[in-house]
Structure 1
């Protein structure tokens, strides 16, 4: 899956907008929370797409990609 570089930057900067983890960077959400959200169904729109990418990255141990972008911006 090819990603738009701006989308990766957006994911690196994004924070959870509501709930128990409101204000936490998406990449810093606990893995079990992201897995729970995956089983429940991600929200529609950009947030859902970003959470889906975070899920895939965490699943494959690739969070470092977003963490590096986060530190660079």
Structure 2
């Protein structure tokens, strides 16, 4: 994991699918779990979705709160 990836989770929006336009950090757990079962897409978006799944699955979403509060 790259430290900048945490920042990306709270700034980048889902580019496709049911939750298009939603911040990656705000994607629901069941949606992230679906990707974990079916396979994450290639590239940056897949890496970020996998990271967010791990954060969500382990109940660590609060770690992103300070990043959300940055100007």
TM-score in terms of structure 1 length: 0.86
Structure 1 runs of 4+ off > 2 angstroms? none
RMSD of aligned residue pairs (Cα, Å): 1.2
1:10, distance to aligned residue in structure 2 (A): 1.3
Which runs of 5 or more structure 2 residues have no equivalent in the other structure? none
Q: Which structure exhibits the higher relative contact order, with contacts defined as CA atoms closer than 8 Å and separated by 6 or more residues? A: 1
Give the match for residue 35 of structure 1: 33
1:1-73 paired onto structure 2 within 5 Å:
3-73=1-71
Query: How many residues are treated as equivalent by the alignment?
Result: 71
Q: Contact conserved, 1:27 with 1:67, CA < 8 A, in 2?
A: no
Which runs of 5 or more structure 1 residues have no equivalent in the other structure? none
TM-score in terms of structure 2 length: 0.89
